[in-house]
Structure 1
Amino acid sequence: MLNDRLMSRASIRKSQSERRMSLAALRDPEARPYSLRPGSSEDRREMKTQARAVIVGGGAVGCSIAYHLAKAGWTDIVLLERDELTAGSTWHAAGLLPLFNMSYAVSHIHDYSVKFYKTLEAETGLNPGFSVVGNLRMAQTRERIDEYRLYASTAESVGVPFEWMTPKEVGERWPLLRTDDLRGAIFHPTDGYINPADMTQAMAKGARQRGVEIVRRAQVNGFERRNGHWIVKGALMGEKGGNLVEGEGFEIVSDIVVTASGNHAQRTAAMIGCRLPAIPVEHQYIVTEPDSALVQWRSTNPEHPVLRDADAKWYVREERGGWILGPYEEGAPAWAKFGVPQGFRADLLPLDLERIEEEYASMLHRIPSSEVCGLKDDFNGPICYTPDGNPLVGPAPGVDGFWFAEGFSFGITAAGGTGHYLAQMITEGEAEIDMASLDPRRFGRMLNREYATKKNEETYSHVFVLHHPDEERPAARPLRTAPCYDRMKAHGAQFGQVNGWERPIYFAGPGFDDHASRSFRRGGWWSHAKAEATAIREGVGLIDATAFAKHTLTGPGAAAFLDWFTCNRLPKVGRISLTYALTEAGTVRSEYTIVRHAEDSFYLVSAGAAQAYDHDELAKQVARKTPEFGPMTLTDVTTQWGVFAVAGPKSRELLRPLVVDADPAFALSNKGFPWLSAREIDLGMVPTLALRVAYTGELGWELHHPVEMQNHLFDRLIEQGDRVGLTLVGARAQNWLRQEKSYRAWGADIGRDATPLESGLDRFVDLTKAFRGKDAMLAKGLRAKCVTILMDGPEGDEEGGAADPWGREALWSGDRVVGRLTSGGWSVAAGRRIGLGYVPPAMAEPGARLKVRIMGGLWDAEVVADSPHDPKNERIRADG
């Protein structure tokens, strides 16, 4: 249908070459040509050969970074663009500015962008073409409304305005829309769409006004690290037969480099030996001829908002009396898997309109008047994606002074905020929001092009898929599996993934459909997680924790380094300490469990999601500090050790028969094996490093064992488990249990936007010693405080079933938002909903009364003292 309609209008359809954006239209009106040769004519000038920062890429993101670095006071900056400003994905972007986002960090980024773009004309005199028409996101199902309710609570905590609308209200306000099959909608009145090229030129002008040098037709071909500086090597480009050709070479010495090279991200990263999972995916959109009903409507009414029918997988906006339809369909392929062709400029890709037939038909259903419209234009352009849809913003792994801002699938919306927060990271040591969820190192080193291709195609097709908080996407899985994977699966394990590792999230019977059980409320998995949590509180459970990141640090300088690198006192030999590595800004960067094997030998355990993230920071700091502290050897041993966590009051009963010792009872007693100590023990034939810790807050051990012996150990534990009632337990029950003990989780309750004192980790901070970030931590004071909260919530009604907090909800006091949850779930010990979150210090005392937003309603919530379960740690220290 769509192809037929397009071909029937062939007389007015532009050819591919005609539709290609004229490069003259993209040309920077204020740019002048450059020459490196002496004696240049007066209309040419010399490029800088030294700079404080070089930015590679002249799209929306690159120009925003240049602007914001200059605004922060870094005026000695050069921006290099291989073609013309906006000649990459920026030129064919639809220019939408959606505020809707489930990520707290990305929501802040988008919110900043929308506000920032509105100031550009007053500052630069250039109108960025911001049409503040709003954004109407429609819902056809109850589940979609639940998604919007969860999102809305995040929006409240960020300060993003929105309005709820009924189908009747939508139809009355915009009668061209069919609303009889809608359940409702959420409306953002402050966003809309913008002209990407004009917006980028405005930021470029603002950057120039602050001293930034912008060089077009300058292709970067390599980077060299020399004497603590970067040498950026490239060539000025000429044009021959419509293609760019290399001319004069250049070199620029720079303190730092930032790349924002869009679809060329793989090429630029490879120049410093990095691999980025940033691969473009084809995105098509079509433009219709004028719709007579729309033209008549607009004669007396304002423009429609940007329309999104998420259940139909498209966005639509007005365009000169017609409509632009942008679908996110299944089957859109990745492009330029091995790099962008050298001759590709402001070009488009061949069309495949059959792919979007379903979405086109759904637009005709939603906007019936559009059915008589012919098609005027069509675009198929590459847009860069990443495996989780978030961009890659932060330090490059393995090298100093090199930063990435790559992988933007919503680059126009994110450009302004990315420039702002990345400039903070570069100039101040950290951003005011936690940017770890965007860190380029979050995917680890196991990635290759095939993985990125499969995941990026999946991410594109999931733009409008329901984003359940418990969603687990299937592409490229299973990839990293512990040896016990098949055994766990045979026992009913339902798997999630962290850093590519498959890990059980709960256990269910044969035929259980995890995908069908997902919900914004209590899904089908909830009863299984509750039973597992109860089993650990009352009996004994086994958790696969193999995904933990694990490092060893040895050598004469190891102790002094770790004493500086972390904020808690180091453990004695044979003991364990929980500690934190801070950023230069005094906020929490990483969490470590440190085992001290000898005076100069340490075993470090950290979050599974942070393996590459932690390794890179450790390696960089070890290299920098070795001259000061002495020789050290850092080794990533993550894949050498499997980990089982055994927890519950019957833990000793489970383990004693396996312990090979003259006195097995003494070996596991408090005297033989104290709390927070580590021992090498034999469990049958398996040599095991046992740690007397338990993230669940019960008596227990972590059993770190040679990974090749994991199945043997698993089988022996299961055999003994039949005797004591062992329950296999997944990550969701563990998450509930750790909240009952007020154990903060890295990446949720603790991160780079709060100090350890604000995070309620005072007992893990030794203020008698010097450590990295200490002065900055103290200077910040207490801006907020992490607390434990018990609360009520929906028990189920005509709108849906009972619901618990997920850790994204806004906290209210009176008529204002005062904080937000960072974790949430159910407490089997208290029989109530539980969560951790941040509130002002004045509201952090036990007994403080708040409200929490869950599924659209405000529910009673109370701050309680930390560790509401077993506050004296009597159970975790129990002897026997």
Structure 2
Amino acid sequence: MTLPSHARVVIIGGGVIGCSVAYHLAKLGWTDIVLLERKKLTSGTTWHAAGLIAQLRATKNMTKLAKYSQELYGGLEVETGIATGFKRCGSITVALTEERQEEIFRQAAMARAFGVDVERITPDEVKARYAHLNIDGVKAGVYLEKDGQGDPANIALALAKGARQNGALIKEDARVTQITRAGRRAASITWETQGQTGQITCDHVVNCAGMWGHEVGRMAGVNVPLHACEHFYIVTEAIPGLTQLPVLRVPDECAYYKEDAGKMLLGAFEPNAKPWGMDGIPSNFEFDQLPEDFDHFEPILESAVARLPMLAEAGIHTFFNGPESFTPDDAYHLGLAPELDNFWVAAGFNSIGIQSAGGAGMALAQWMDTGEKPFDLGDVDIARMQPFQGNKTYLYERSKETLGLLYADHYPFRQKETARGIRRSPLHQHLLNEGAVMGEFAGWERANWFARGSQEAQYDYTWKRQSFFENIAAEHRAIRENVGLYDMSSFGKIRVEGRDAEAFMNYIGGGDYAGPVGKITYTQFLNKTGGIEADVTVTRLSETAYLVVTPAAARLADETWMRRHQGDFNVVITDVTAAEAVLAVMGPNARTLLERVSPNDFSNATNPFGTAQEVEIGMGLARVHRVSYVGELGWEVYVSSDQAAHVFETLHRAGQDMNMTLCGLHMMDSCRIEKAFRHFGHDITCEDHVLEAGLGFAVKTEKPDFIGRDAVLRKKDEGLSMRLLQFKLTDPEPLLYHAEPILRDGEVVSYLTSGAYGHHLGAALGMGYVPCKGEALANVLASTYEIDVAGTRVCADVSSKPFYDPKSERVKV
């Protein structure tokens, strides 16, 4: 086979995801598609995958992709003539603890909101569907009739054949050795096969290299954080009389079971995994397996024999140990790499590659074809990964945990335990000294709550009220009634400077940035459909400089969005996150506290809401931004990192006789939900129209030209199809987190995009989009609403305005 000198796209890697991307691009009419596989198709991870195919994922769009995979695999055999082994045999997940029961019942409720058929079943009903199972200790189960299983290698080969039938060129035994860059583009790849080498120039590159994805990314200067881990399963000898069974998951025993051709496969996601390939993956690795480690697997097997007694009589035919790649957060990588404008990634599938590959390939192909995400892919967008997460030591340490997290209890607020302490605020030790309990977000150690008195400064997880529930309540009260101090240093800070800074900001964002120095604008960056790509505040620092402040995890994505739309604007865009610490002083007595430590004027006349000014604090200098994400009078104090400790000590000391309270970021989420402030990535995403999100006030369509303007004007003419509303449970006991179904007049119509407990209002609150095409707001609000909490319907009040301080009077006093 002769390889071309140029291709529209070169796909690196011939596992199931590489074949899926090639298949879907070809289906979209792309020509000049070249897929290069270093050895043989499927020879890395795909060939030994267990082939479990489930529909339900943690979010609506991930579920949409998994459902698409099922539908695709069901028709591939007819299209290509290659048997995929796809069977809808159903799946059962059982709970052995009350906590796991709560989790799977919440997942079942979520499934209904996402259009997935799911059934809650009793232990006896579990037994009726899975007679071989010992149900001792089983509390409950959930059954998904349309879940299934398939032959992983043949699914990939069918996708490859489908791609070839539509014109794609697939070359095996062709290893990529170099990727050449030209500016912000990958210009060419160099390949090697059987002693020959060649080069292909290309318009696009897709990294589908699986556990080699990190290495391939490095060739192009692209960060693809993933690490291989050993993954174990056994296959028994044939068991007489064994017939097709549903896939069975017993996550409390870290085990899954699959009947296959009269044999049983038992696989494990053990809590402490074994990373592999620390010194790189051997160049000759092909259809290989790793050495057996029966001692490591034995605890899983021991529990499994008790759970499925027939295993005690069945001989072991195969003890398999093969490598699979895992990412730092257990979500795969998909999308356009931040470092380049034509380098795409689809890798790191965390042992769910077969069920994900169909949908992921479809979504990536559509994104590549149109230049726009087909829907929100924030959960898996490669731009969520921080640069430091490509560090090999970090990946080694984190991967020990992430494999096991697949079957761990997915408690709310659960924190990663490995690879911690990497990014620290200048105030880190000060906060620890005061009892801070740290969580990790985008690598940052952040004070989430403060232990009091003799209370242990650690999480104690549950789906009910957690051990720190009252701590958050006390911090919440301090913000509402007195004054609180908390660290916001992790929030991203991007400086935009140059002679065209004002013009650039007015193009990139929906707000008006032409105001005086010191003006703060709450704003969104929109895409061409009016969806929200970023939710930020923009402060004018000078005639030619702005500071864009963004959520910690969104900093890289937002900076990349600006760079990709910089065009000919004469500006310099710089990440300055680490340069300044940020302390929030919030609450009715915030002004009093600041006046104690500063000679500056904090009155409305001098420093009204939405403005910034430079001040003295103690013996240091700072800049105070009068804004609030908690709905109270307050200031964010920006201070250079070298003076941050002094400013903290000054504020902390001055607040002692005022009963000032140190607060954590769980409090911030509790306060913001009462005020119906949107959370980017949950309540507002790239597929949520800014007007339907209730943020039309932040968009200034009188400006002549900005990204998304036409879409905003169209929506104004067409009217809203959805409205983001706030809900408050009438029962103060249940807790809300996210994705709970919303019922309108008894019918499921949507789900909560976020939820938290409102300690001032005394009930859990959430937000969610409700369909309303052609309806007046009054009619939407006149309906009866309930929220499904783990299968129990709870009545809820509804409002289009915040339940707390709807006129926003408290921030302006």
Report if TM-score (shorter chain) is over 0.5: yes
Q: TM (normalized to structure 1)?
A: 0.88
Cα 1:227/1:632, change in 2 over 3 Å: closer
Helix, strand or coil at the partner of 1:697: coil
State the one-letter code of the partner of 2:755.
G
> Which residue number in structure 1 is paired with residue 702 of structure 2?
768
1:696 deviation in Å?
A: 0.5
Counterpart contact for 2:222–2:340, Cα < 8 Å: no
Structure 2 contact 236–317 (Cα < 8 Å) conserved: yes
Aligned twin of 1:81? 37
Q: What is the SS of the residue equivalent to 1:438? A: coil
After superposition, the Cα gap between the structure-2 partners of 1:527 and 1:227, relative to the gap in structure 1 and judged at 3 Å, is closer
**Aligned equivalent of 2:788:** 853
Letter in 2 for 1:437: D
What secondary structure sits across from 1:417 in the alignment? Answer: helix
Residue among 601, 614, 620 paired with 2:545: 601
Partner of 2:561: 617
Is 1:701 matched with 2:635? yes
Q: Which residue of 2 aligns with 1:277?
A: 225
Query: Which whole-Å CA distance do the structure 2 matches of 1:839 and 1:525 have between them?
Result: 32
Compare CA radii of gyration and give the structure with the larger one: 1
Q: Following TM superposition, by how much is the alpha carbon of 1:599 offset from its aligned partner in structure 2, in angstroms?
A: 1.9
Which residue among 362, 371, 384 is the counterpart of 1:442?
384
Partner of 1:7: none
- Asked if 1:287 is matched to 2:235, the reply is yes
Residue of structure 2 equivalent to 1:561: 504
SS in 1 for 2:812: coil
Match status 1:646 vs 2:585? yes
TM-superposed CA distance for 1:431, in Å, is 3.0
1:40-79 aligned at under 5 Å gives the runs 46-79=2-35
Query: Which of 717, 726, 748 is matched with 1:817 structurally?
Result: 748
Instruction: List aligned pairs for 1:672-687, cutoff 5 A.
Output: 672-687=606-621
| Cα distance in structure 2, aligned partners of 1:510 and 1:379 | 51
1:310 aligns with 2:251: yes
Letter in 2 for 1:439: D
2:399 counterpart residue number:
456
Alpha-carbon distance in 1 for matches of 2:455, 2:69: 43
Which residues in structure 2 correspond to 1:503-522 (within 5 Å)?
503-510=446-453, 512-513=455-456, 517-522=460-465
Answer yes or no: is the 8 Å Cα contact 1:444–1:613 preserved in 2: no
Worse overlay, 69-78 or 129-138: 69-78
Give the residue type in structure 2 aligned to 1:641: E
The residue type paired with residue 459 of structure 1 is T
Matched, 1:267 2:203: no
CA contact (8 A) 2:438 2:449 kept: yes
Q: Could you tell me whether the CA contact under 8 Å between 1:228 and 1:255 is conserved in 2?
A: no
Residue identity matched to 2:433: A
8 Å Cα contact 2:683/2:754 also seen in 1: yes
Q: Work out the CA distance in 2 between the residues paired with 1:613 and 1:870.
A: 32
Q: Which runs of 5+ in 2 are unaligned?
A: none
1:587–1:751: 8 Å Cα contact kept in structure 2?
Answer: yes
Are residues 124 and 620 of structure 1, via their aligned partners in 2, closer, same or farther at CA, if it must alter by over 3 Å? same
Structure 2 counterpart of 1:650, one-letter code: N
User: Does 2:139 match 1:183?
Assistant: yes
Mean CA deviation greater in 382-391 or 110-119: 110-119
SS of match in other structure, 1:471? coil
Q: Is the 8 A contact 2:186 2:340 kept in 1?
A: no
Amino acid at match of 2:722: A
Aligned with 1:874 (options 789, 809, 812): 809
CA contact (8 A) 1:741 1:867 kept: yes
> Separation in 2 of the partners of 1:393 and 1:653?
49
Displacement after TM superposition at 1:199 (Å):
0.7
Partner of 2:347: 406
Q: Of the candidates 422, 425, 440, which is equivalent to residue 367 of structure 2? A: 425
| Whole-angstrom CA distance in 2 between matches of 1:486 and 1:545 | 15
The alignment partner of 1:805 has SS state of: coil
Structure 1 residues 415, 717: CA separation in 2 closer, same or farther (over 3 Å shift)? Answer: same
What do the CA deviations read for 1:273-304 (whole angstroms, capped 9, x no partner)?
Answer: 1232211101011111123xxx3353xxxx11
> C-alpha distance in 1, partners of 2:414/2:630?
23
Shift of 1:804: 1.1
Cα distance, 1:229–1:642 mapped onto 2, change above 3 Å: closer
Any gaps of 5 or more consecutive residues in structure 1?
A: 1-33, 35-45, 239-246, 662-666, 796-801
Contact 1:257–1:403 (Cα < 8 Å) also in 2: yes
Alpha-carbon separation, structure 1, partners of 2:634 and 2:61:
35
Q: Deviations over 1:695-723 (max 9, x none)?
A: 10100000011112222111111111112
1:578·1:592 contact (CA, 8 Å) conserved in 2?
yes
Give distance in 1, aligned partners of 2:551 and 2:294.
44
1:31 is aligned to none
Q: Pick from 482, 501, 507 the counterpart of residue 425 of structure 2.
A: 482
Q: Structure 1 residue aligned with 2:180, among 214, 221, 224?
A: 224
Whether contact under 8 Å (1:811, 1:852) holds in the other structure is: yes
- Corresponding residue of 1:244: none
Contact 1:397–1:616 under 8 Å retained in 2: yes
Q: Matched residue of 1:198: which SS?
A: helix
What is the aligned-residue identity percentage?
Answer: 35
Q: Distance in 1 between matches of 2:365 and 2:458?
A: 40
> Could you tell me the TM-score, scaled by structure 2's length?
0.95
Show the counterpart of 1:834: 765
Kept in 2: contact 1:66–1:77 (CA 8 A): yes
The count of residues paired between Structure 1 and Structure 2 equals: 802
2:499 alignment partner, SS class: coil
Paired with 2:202 and 2:242, the residues of 1 have a C-alpha distance of 56
| Distance of aligned partners of 1:511 and 1:216 in 2 relative to their CA distance in 1, 3 Å threshold | farther
Is 1:98 matched with 2:54? Answer: yes
**Residue among 325, 329, 333 paired with 1:388:** 329
CA 1:510 to 1:341, structure 2 compared with 1: closer, same or farther past 3 Å? farther
What is the CA distance between 1:389 and its match in structure 2?
A: 0.6
Secondary structure of 1:551's counterpart equals: strand
Residue in structure 2 matching 1:716, options 646, 650, 670:
650
Matched residue, 2:166: 210
1:577 aligns to 2:521 (yes or no): yes
Distance apart, 1:779 and its partner CA: 5.0
What is the CA-CA distance between 1:557 and the residue it aligns to? 1.5
Question: Is contact 2:241-2:262 (8 Å) kept?
Answer: no
> Secondary structure at the residue paired with 1:461?
helix
Is 1:592 aligned to 2:536, yes or no? Answer: yes
Aligned to 2:481: 538
Secondary structure at the aligned position of 1:437 is classed as: coil
Deviation at 1:115, TM superposition (A): 2.0
Q: Are 1:416 and 2:358 counterparts? A: yes
Q: 1:247-262 residue pairs with structure 2 within 5 A?
A: 247-262=195-210
